[in-house]
Amino acid sequence: MLFIDSLNQLLFPTRCFGCAALGLSICSSCRRDWHPGYYTRHISQLSVHSAVPYSSTASRIILASKEDGLEGADNLIISAIVHVLSKADFDDHNIRLVPIPSSPSARRRRGRNFILDIAGSVGQRSGLPLSDSLELTRRVRDQSGLDATARSYNMQGAFALKKGTYPRGDLVLIDDVVTTGATLHEAGRALRSAGFNVIAAITACHAQPLR
């Protein structure tokens, strides 16, 4: 194994996800941009807790995880979410983690269900159960170029409770980034309208909406 590890290092040396410098999966300078803290925003009845402000470093880490499936980048995101969970102090609650569903086309392109994978690892590390209880009801547009109004319109009624699921307890939504909160708002609406209790959302990053 040692030999294979060193061969791997030779062929595929570890590079920083932020700036591609050789060595660590995140170098000390990019660590300054990706340093998990605890930020809270309130988006229409929902407290959204996040670990790091969005930056070009954060954007590269998220892409490396989401689109390239790189384990080191996954780990940075998982640790950031676990960190926020520990700060959020949900001790008196009966928490269940609910991942935000991704579209079938994104799942095919990535070869996996990104947020479900991330939330699953967060659950394993934090000992909290996972409930994959939301599904998309229709196609939604990629939101990266959309402003707040367009995002809200794009997400309206887009999620529903997945058939056969019954997510009891205090639900905490899990996603990679919050921008306007349109996606989280819609996820909260779908679960609450089915009679379930959503208490918060946790994301690795928080970004400023387009104006």
| Residue 61 touching Zn ion (CB under 5 A) | no
Stretch that binds Zn ion, among 26-34, 43-51, 167-175, 178-186 (CB under 5 A): 26-34
> 72 vs 169, which CB is nearer to Zn ion?
72
Q: Is residue 69 within 8 Å of 16, Cβ to Cβ? A: no
Total residues binding Zn ion (CB under 5 A): 6
Stretch that binds Zn ion, among 12-20, 156-164, 186-194, 198-206 (CB under 5 A): 12-20
CB of 29 to Zn ion, least distance (A): 5
| Residue 27 touching Zn ion (CB under 5 A) | yes
Round to whole Å and give the CA distance between 203 and 205.
Answer: 6
| Residue 64 touching Zn ion (CB under 5 A) | no
| Residue 19 touching Zn ion (CB under 5 A) | yes
Which residues lie near Zn ion (CB under 5 A)?
16, 18-19, 21, 27, 30
